[in-house]
């Protein structure tokens, strides 16, 4: 390993979503959706500085395709998102 690769491995820690017994199947689409919704419900209820909300964000960023995330973000901004996130 070169010095540059060692520096990057110290700087970044790669993680994937942990196992969630609610979603035991290979298809993780529902897991992606649920964690996206849970993240925004969490920050709406507790605020963006509430650290446990970060777990939802890390999980949906790990599982969801970027195109879905950007589309859902656009839908939230325009008020057409199909889920209620204000509870």
pLDDT tens for 17-68 read 888 888 888 889 999 999 999 999 999 999 999 999 999 999 999 999 999 9
Max distance between CA atoms of the chain, in angstroms, equals 50
pLDDT reported for residue 30: 93
pLDDT at 1: 53
Count of C-beta atoms within a 10 Å radius of residue 25: 8
pTM: 0.81
Q: Of 2 and 15, which is predicted with more confidence?
A: 15
């Amino acid at each position: 390993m070169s010095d540059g690769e060692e520096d990057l491995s110290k700087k970044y820690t790669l993680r994937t979503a942990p196992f969630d017994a609610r979603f035991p199947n290979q298809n993780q689409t529902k897991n992606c959706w649920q964690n996206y919704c849970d993240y925004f419900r969490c920050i709406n209820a507790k605020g963006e500085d509430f650290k446990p909300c970060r777990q939802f964000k890390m999980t949906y960023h790990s599982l969801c395709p970027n195109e879905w995330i950007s589309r859902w973000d656009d839908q939230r901004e325009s008020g057409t998102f199909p889920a209620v996130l204000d509870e």
